[in-house]
Amino acid sequence: MAGKNLNVKTALIINPVASRISSAEKLARVEQELNRRGHPVTVSYTSAPLEAMEIARRAAGEGSGLVISVGGDGTLNEVINGIASTPARLGIIPAGLSNVLARELNIPDKLERALEVILAGTTRRLDLGLINGRYFSIMVSVGIDAEAVRIVNPAVKRFLKRYAYHLAGFQALASFRPGPFTLRCDGEKELTGRAAVISNSRFYGGPHQITPQARSDDGMLHCCVFARGRRRDYARYFWGVLRKNHQRFRDVSFLTARTVDIETPGLPIQADGDYLGRTPARIQIFPGMLTVLAPKKNE
């Protein structure tokens, strides 16, 4: 669906510490251009975790038909949670470390071009996953990478950017020893392993593809389970993902489902790059729940 979407009340939500945030002058031009195109704009800057969620929820409740996230995948996740189940549409100006959903949707990483995508008015319906009351658009993971997300230092992250996760990954590798757990898929099929990624997107952490068959509008969760948990196994899995051949490993399993249950308690979980807590967890998919302004899907 396309159109100019004039006179749409718009909320612009900006994370000012996002790693690729543009200058204040460029951000001011975004507001000016939206106003010029007939979008009355309210601009809000976040200053604390989960604040973007509350701003987005309030904006949607006060009649904003368009809510634009300017930040990384964490800010975007909060905005999505704020507008899920409302008529508001999502606009994305990617400014974070990885910008996975923007990559999935072919949204440009340049501010001006991303804004043009929003102003073009082409919409797509996307699925959202839900884990323990929190929506996600990209993926959930359980195990060592969730532990790395848990222990990553925010100050180091601001300095080292994406390499802060690499450092946290090495720290997790040195100390984290997960026991086996089971994914129960659609109440029937089971996969057992020591790490898992449950995806709504083919991309993970940037350009990597752990579940390359996943699409954000296919109505399914795509599960990848890694069976073993020794250091050398994690190194092999990591190298396999980088080389795009982990799908051939005998100890890596794949399954699609609409509902995934993990009953084993105490395992770290993260969604869209934010630490959520620990299992048990129920993960569900809600097809077509989110309307996002994005380029037309390439068939």
91 with 154, same domain: the answer is no
pLDDT at 283: 98
Question: pLDDT of 149-164, one tens digit each?
Answer: 886 656 556 554 565 5
Q: Whole-angstrom Cα distance, residue 224 to residue 222?
A: 7
Answer yes or no: do 190 and 273 share one domain.
Answer: yes
The reply to whether 77 and 180 lie within a common domain is: no
Strand partners, 225: 196, 253
**Pair 159, 102 in one domain:** no
Q: For 2-13, what is the mean pLDDT?
A: 75
Question: 10 Å Cβ neighbour count for 85?
Answer: 12
pLDDT band per the 50, 70, 90 thresholds, residue 6: low
Rounded CA-CA distance 173/144 in Å is 7
What does the pLDDT look like over 72-107, one tens digit per residue? 999 999 999 999 999 999 999 998 888 999 999 999
Record the pTM: 0.90
pLDDT band at 44 (very low <50, low <70, confident <90, very high): very high
Instruction: Please indicate, yes or no, if residue 3 is contained in any of the structural domains.
Output: no
Number of structural domains in the chain: 2
126 lies in a domain?
no
Q: Within a domain: residue 5?
A: no
- Is there a single domain that holds both residue 171 and residue 108? no
Nearest to 194 by CA among 230, 229, 246: 229
Using CA atoms in the order 133, 283, 127, 9, what is the torsion angle rounded to 10 degrees? 10
Domain extent, residue 269, equals 134-287
Average pLDDT over residues 3-31: 78
Q: Among the three residues 85, 100, 121, which one is the final residue of a domain in this structure? A: 121
